[in-house]
């Protein structure tokens, strides 16, 4: 999934119609003007003339390239951030120009080959490769004496961030175009960055970026607030070169190889392998919806229509290390990411793409907001949203009981298997369920658009104090959408109260 887009060195800043006058005050409006001017020009893709040592470098060798933090422009300057860089090589063959904003002036940061080592040896002399492949910011997330990696921008418009006690997992992107379409995906890239150098006691930082693609350009601002849950406020101003029907706003990209609901496709000692295990959506009408992820043999596309949705995200809910049995990957420490619109996204849908995969090194899950209105040629459109990189969603999101596990198997009655039926077992857990004294007071609500439902049963799980919902489903020869939730009648008002989020599942025969 993490394909790398084509290189372009940003010649429009060097010659021609540059909106920047170095020495004058830098503003985000400068980046907007650059994006708007670039949109009036034909898209240009250029490639670097790189030596074979870089172009044929395998990924493990690339990972051995180390940047000497002492060469960083902010090293030992008594500020809470450090800036380090990624070298071009392996699959990362495209360069970006990086500037630091000192005061109000943008100062270009040139490439320095001596700042890198390869496999702990000095990097051999390199020709002028012009620029770096990307950069990362470091910050003392976990303890004051160590600068942890906070956020990295590397490849196309990909970036990923961390909060306290988190390890890298899913990624975000600046923009997605035609993801999951037969015509093939268009990958926008960040061509140029400007990073605001922070003051000595400043605990936030701002990154600006210029995005380019065959059909769109964009000016981006990322206001980054590190912490237990790192927050990033994103402003994206887009300028269309051509009309785009399938536009992905606030895209997230993750990996799901297998989990408790994946059937017998992987001979592996681990029980689960994934960076995220579900999609969570908060609708405008207040409903919380949970869609478990899966790795089916065929491409799965799911859309959840709404107007001004309150939020969505890819979540890693299972935090039990015993369920992963992976002493290196530490999947239980991968962050969830929640997207909160700061200005209404309008009418559209949360769109989920699940791509078949047989290796955990490949991202195969993508989710984004898809506006109903196409981005039309010569149109300008602005989107603003906040990203939450979190470990414990209960402290950040919602009060209702949540789905903690989805399992399925052969259906049947009284222990007699019947392969015409599929048995689903869903575990819910949360404070609202803990307050229910009699399990018989819970009212299950199970429905499906195609097929039959029977044997709906609710039980208390005294081992972990969750509530388990069983039901059998008989599929027809077509894709079906199932929904399930738990309710309770309010004894005073006689109104039905929803206690859980909605479990939503797509069954493909």
Residue 15 clears pLDDT 70, i.e. is over it: no
Burial grade of 297 (CB within 10 A; 0-12, 13-18, 19 or more): exposed
pLDDT of residue 302: 96
Could you give the CA distance from residue 159 to residue 141 in angstroms, rounded to a whole number? 18
pLDDT of residue 11: 32
- Are residues 229 and 342 located together in one domain of the fold? yes
pLDDT of residue 51: 81
pLDDT of residue 184: 92
Could you read off the pLDDT of 25-82 as tens digits, one per residue?
Answer: 899 999 999 999 999 999 998 777 788 888 888 888 888 889 999 999 999 999 999 9
* pTM over cut 0.95: no
Confidence of residue 400 (pLDDT cuts 50, 70, 90): confident
Whether residue 4 lies inside any domain: the answer is: no
CATH of the domain at 445: 2.60.40.10
* Domain closes at, from 339, 371, 395: 395
**Cβ(203)–Cβ(171) under 8 Å?**
no
* Domain closes at, from 379, 395, 411: 395
Residue 369 clears pLDDT 90, i.e. is over it: yes
pLDDT of residue 20: 56
Number of compact structural domains in the chain: 2
Could you give the CA distance from residue 446 to residue 154 in angstroms, rounded to a whole number? 44
- Are residues 381 and 439 located together in one domain of the fold? no
* Domain closes at, from 347, 376, 395: 395
- Are residues 381 and 472 located together in one domain of the fold? no
Output phi, psi for 34, to 5 deg.
-65, -45
- Are residues 334 and 365 located together in one domain of the fold? yes
| Mean pLDDT across 266-294 | 95
Q: Which domain holds residue 246?
A: 11-395
- Are residues 408 and 379 located together in one domain of the fold? no
- Are residues 84 and 210 located together in one domain of the fold? yes
Could you read off the pLDDT of 403-435 as tens digits, one per residue?
Answer: 999 999 999 888 889 999 999 999 999 989 999
Find the range with the poorest average confidence among 192-201, 296-305, 394-403.
Answer: 394-403
Whether residue 2 lies inside any domain: the answer is: no
- Are residues 325 and 431 located together in one domain of the fold? no
Residue 151 clears pLDDT 80, i.e. is over it: yes
- Are residues 406 and 390 located together in one domain of the fold? no
Residue 23 clears pLDDT 70, i.e. is over it: no
Residue 436 clears pLDDT 70, i.e. is over it: yes
Coil, strand, or helix at residue 432? helix
pLDDT of residue 94: 85
Whether residue 5 lies inside any domain: the answer is: no
Confidence of residue 125 (pLDDT cuts 50, 70, 90): low
- Are residues 315 and 459 located together in one domain of the fold? no
- Are residues 348 and 488 located together in one domain of the fold? no
CATH of the domain at 270: 2.70.98.10
- Are residues 343 and 437 located together in one domain of the fold? no
Q: Where are the beta strands (DSSP E) in 109-215?
A: 116-118, 121-122, 134-139, 148-154, 158-161, 171-173, 176-177, 189-196, 205-213
What mean pLDDT is reported for the chain? 91
- Are residues 483 and 341 located together in one domain of the fold? no
Bigger pLDDT: 315 vs 93: 315
């Amino acid at each position: 999934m993490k394909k790398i887009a084509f290189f372009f060195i940003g010649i429009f800043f060097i010659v021609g119609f540059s909106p920047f006058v170095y020495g004058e005050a830098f503003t985000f409006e400068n980046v907007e003007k650059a994006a708007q001017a670039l949109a009036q020009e034909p898209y240009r893709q250029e490639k670097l003339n790189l030596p074979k040592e870089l172009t044929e470098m395998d990924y493990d060798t690339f990972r051995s390239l180390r940047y000497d933090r002492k060469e960083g422009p902010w090293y030992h300057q008594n500020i809470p951030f450090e800036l380090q860089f990624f070298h071009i090589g392996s699959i990362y063959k495209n360069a970006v120009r990086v500037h630091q904003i000192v005061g109000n002036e943008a100062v270009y940061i040139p490439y320095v080959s001596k700042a890198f080592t390869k496999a702990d040896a000095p990097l051999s002399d390199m020709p002028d490769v012009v620029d770096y492949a990307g950069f990362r910011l470091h910050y003392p997330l976990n303890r004051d004496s160590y600068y942890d990696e906070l956020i990295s921008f590397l490849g196309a418009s990909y970036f990923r961030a961390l909060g306290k006690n988190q390890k890298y997992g899913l990624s975000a992107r600046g923009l997605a175009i035609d993801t999951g379409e037969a015509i093939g995906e268009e990958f926008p890239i960040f061509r140029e960055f400007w990073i605001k150098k922070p003051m000595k006691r400043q605990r936030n930082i701002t990154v600006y970026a210029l995005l380019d693609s065959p059909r769109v350009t964009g000016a981006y601002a990322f206001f980054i607030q590190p912490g237990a849950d790192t927050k990033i406020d994103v402003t994206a101003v887009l300028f269309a070169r051509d009309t785009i029907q399938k536009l992905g706003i606030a895209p997230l990209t993750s990996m799901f190889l297998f989990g408790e609901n994946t059937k017998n496709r992987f001979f592996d000692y681990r029980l689960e392998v994934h960076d995220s295990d579900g999609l969570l959506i908060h609708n405008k009408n207040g409903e919380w919806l949970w869609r478990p992820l899966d790795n089916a043999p065929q491409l799965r596309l799911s859309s959840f229509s709404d107007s001004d949705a309150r939020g969505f995200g890819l979540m890693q809910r299972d935090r039990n290390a015993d369920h992963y049995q992976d002493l290196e990957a530490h999947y239980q420490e991968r962050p969830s990411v929640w997207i909160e619109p700061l200005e209404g996204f309008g009418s559209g849908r949360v769109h989920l793409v699940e791509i078949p995969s047989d290796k955990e090194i490949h991202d195969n899950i993508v989710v984004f907001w898809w506006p109903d209105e196409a981005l039309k040629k010569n149109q300008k459109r602005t989107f603003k949203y906040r990203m939450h990189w979190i470990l414990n969603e209960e402290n950040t999101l919602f009060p209702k009981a949540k789905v903690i596990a989805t399992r399925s198997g052969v259906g049947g009655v009284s222990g007699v298997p019947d392969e015409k039926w599929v048995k689903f077992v869903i575990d819910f857990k949360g404070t609202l369920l803990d307050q229910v004294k009699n399990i018989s007071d819970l009212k299950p609500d199970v429905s499906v658009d195609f097929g039959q439902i029977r044997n709906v049963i609710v039980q208390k799980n005294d081992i972990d104090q969750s509530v388990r919902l069983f039901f059998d489903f008989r599929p027809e020869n077509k894709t079906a959408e199932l929904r399930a939730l738990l309710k309770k009648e309010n004894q005073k008002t006689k109104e039905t109260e929803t206690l859980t989020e909605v479990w939503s599942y797509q069954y493909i025969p």
